[in-house]
Amino acid sequence: MTLRRDFLKAGVILATGPRMIARSALNVHLGCQTNAWPVDARDFSSVLGVIRKLKAWGYEGFETGFANVQGQFEHAAEAKAKIAALGTRFFGVHIFLQEYDTSTRIAPADLYERIALGGARLGAERLILSGAPAGIQDGLKQKAGALNRAGEFAAKARLKLAYHNHGPEFENGGAEIDFLLRETDPAKVSFLLDAGHAFRAGADLPGFIRKHFQRLAGLHLRDFKDGEQVPLGAGDFPLQAVVDAIRETGWSGWVLNEEERVSSKPGDAAAKPAHDALFRAFGKQA
């Protein structure tokens, strides 16, 4: 009887164990955007200095704006070797503009094509595009179509494309982000969810992650208190609820600190406490 009971117990463990392990694992990649620091784009050593710091802090990879690396495209092999020597992955090169193409609401094709080709030569894994809100239905269709075309080009350059939201995509009940998720091709377009901006716009972040985790390449985490950005963990951002949603889905993408500010570069003062909060939340050792 005892042997039969043990056998049945073992069978239950075998049947349920892998699923339970998959649901409880936190196999994410932790990274950081470089835009918390005052980088001199004309001096690549200043960019490398930030990446070196991020590696020392225990991050697996980094993301940076295109202005910080486009000056290296003409001697990409040398710059790529310098990045690789630091032992960190180049998660993505990000195009954020003050003004976007008026018809597509993303960067002009000639710009993102140049950055995609150059970024790929530097070892970037993704082309990341921000955009302007599309508003009307025709604008949404043009934006979704443009993202699909950008995704096709990125794939030819051996990059993956990720669209990065701000607040407007999650306003009006998330009408724009829902449209873009529905009308873009999952094989061509993934999403870099700026969870901080989405949170400020009223999004149900845990619910969104549970529903759309298969489309997410990564998350940007940032925090707010009384309308002002504060280091991650010091405000109202539902960090634990986001971690729980990731655990439940078994998602294994990238989670990146982003401590940018509108009018300042806070550097270590904001980035270090944010790093510590992130690593604690995900049970990682720096």
Provide the residue ranges of all domains of the chain, joining segments of one domain with +.
28-281
Residue 104 CA, chain-centre distance (Å), reads 22
Is residue 169 within 8 A of residue 195, CB to CB? The reply is no
Q: What is the mean pLDDT of the chain?
A: 92
Strand partners, 65: 94
164-223 pLDDT, tens per residue?
A: 999 999 999 999 999 999 999 999 999 999 999 999 999 999 999 999 999 999 999 999
Please provide the size of the chain in residues.
Answer: 286
d(CA 215, CA 59): 23
Cα 125 to Cα 118, 161, 241, 243, distances in angstroms = 12, 9, 28, 24
How would you classify the pairing of strands 126-129 and 216-221?
unpaired
Per-residue pLDDT at 20: 37
CATH topology for 28-281 is TIM Barrel (3.20.20)
Q: Which residue has the tokens 């990065």?
A: 164
1-50 pLDDT, tens per residue?
A: 444 444 344 443 334 443 333 334 589 999 999 999 999 999 999 999 99
pTM listed for this prediction: 0.90
Per-residue pLDDT at 25: 52
